[in-house]
Amino acid sequence: MARKSRRKQNTIGNLLTALIVIIAIFLGANKVNSNRQLTNSNQNQTQTQSKTGLGGLSQAEYQQLAKLDFKSGQAAYIQVNRGKSTLNPQAWQENKVIYANLDKLNRTSASNTAFLEKRNVANDNLRVRQYIEPTGWHGNHPGREIYNRGHLIAYSVSAGIDQSGKYNPHNQSGDQNNPKNLFTQTAYANQRVQTIFETKVRQALRRDCKVVYQATPIFRGNELMARGINLQAVATDGSLNFNVYIFNVQPGYQFSYATGQAQTSPGWQVK
């Protein structure tokens, strides 16, 4: 009886060991698949840009930008790639905008890329009220403008472009309430800094240049408010070429980028 009992125990023990091994293999395979899916997702945009010959930054370079912490008194933007665009001007084939889909958190976390020409300079009088609330959005209090609905591809250079990204001669307005083209941006970053580079694009278009222009909000992890935005542009004749990263900051305020919530900070300065 003792031998039978020991055999029974050994059999049960062996079955339990085998079961543990099978579970470990299964979990390991799932982890590998999960990591592969994450890697594939992160590399998807870079691979797409490579296949189309568009150029642009690599996923690793976007991640490096996301790790940057703004310090009080720092300049509002920095140059990327020594200020030179990594876009391919020869990719300009058709007047259009490539709007990236929102990510799983409904963020505009991938690049929007525009192939622009003179007819895309918009009439500012055709603007309408903005009502989209991008991730990290919080309403402004009267007399205190902190938040803007920042356009990736500026309204002022998107006349005739519909929300599918195609040019429509009947659409005289620029891009307006398009959730694929808006993110929560500080009023300072939008109105005082990004406008510098949007003006450069408008000036090139008015000179009848063809321009490849790309805007990429930079998020850290699962945060709902972007840490900044990478802007780059190149004209097909070489007369325009820039590549910058603009910090999403506001003098006198600091933000919880996880939620977008602002807190007053009188000593917080932006150069």
Residue-number span of the structural domain to which 13 is assigned: 1-52
Kindly state whether residues 104 and 231 are assigned to the same domain: yes
Looking up residue 113, the CATH number of its domain turns out to be: 3.40.570.10
- Residue 222 within a domain: yes
Determine, yes or no, domain membership for 125.
Answer: yes
User: The pTM is what?
Assistant: 0.81
3-state secondary structure the chain: CHHHHHHHHHHHHHHHHHHHHHHHHHHHHHHHHHHHHHHHHHHHHHHHHHHHCCECCCHHHHHHHHCCCCCCCCCCEEECHHHCCCECHHHCCCCEEECCCCCCCCCCCCCEEEEECHHHCCCHHHCCCCCCCCCCCCCCECCECCEEEEECCCHHHCCCECCCCEECCCCCCCCCCCHHHEEEEEHHHHHHHHHHHHHHHHHHHHCCCCEEEEEEEECCCCCCCCCEEEEEEEECCCCCEEEEEEECCECCEEEECCCCEEEECCCCCCC
- Same structural domain, 31 and 141: no
Question: Which domain-ending residue is among 36, 52, 68?
Answer: 52
When divided into structural domains, the chain yields a total of 2
pLDDT in tens, the chain (271 residues): 444 444 445 555 555 555 544 444 444 444 434 334 333 333 445 444 554 689 899 999 999 999 999 999 999 999 999 999 999 999 999 999 999 999 999 999 999 999 999 999 998 888 788 899 999 999 898 888 999 999 999 999 999 999 999 999 888 888 889 999 999 999 999 999 999 999 999 999 999 999 999 999 999 999 999 999 999 999 999 999 999 999 999 999 999 999 999 999 999 999 9
Residue 128 lies in a domain: yes
Residue 271 lies in a domain: no
Residue 176 and residue 75 share a domain: yes
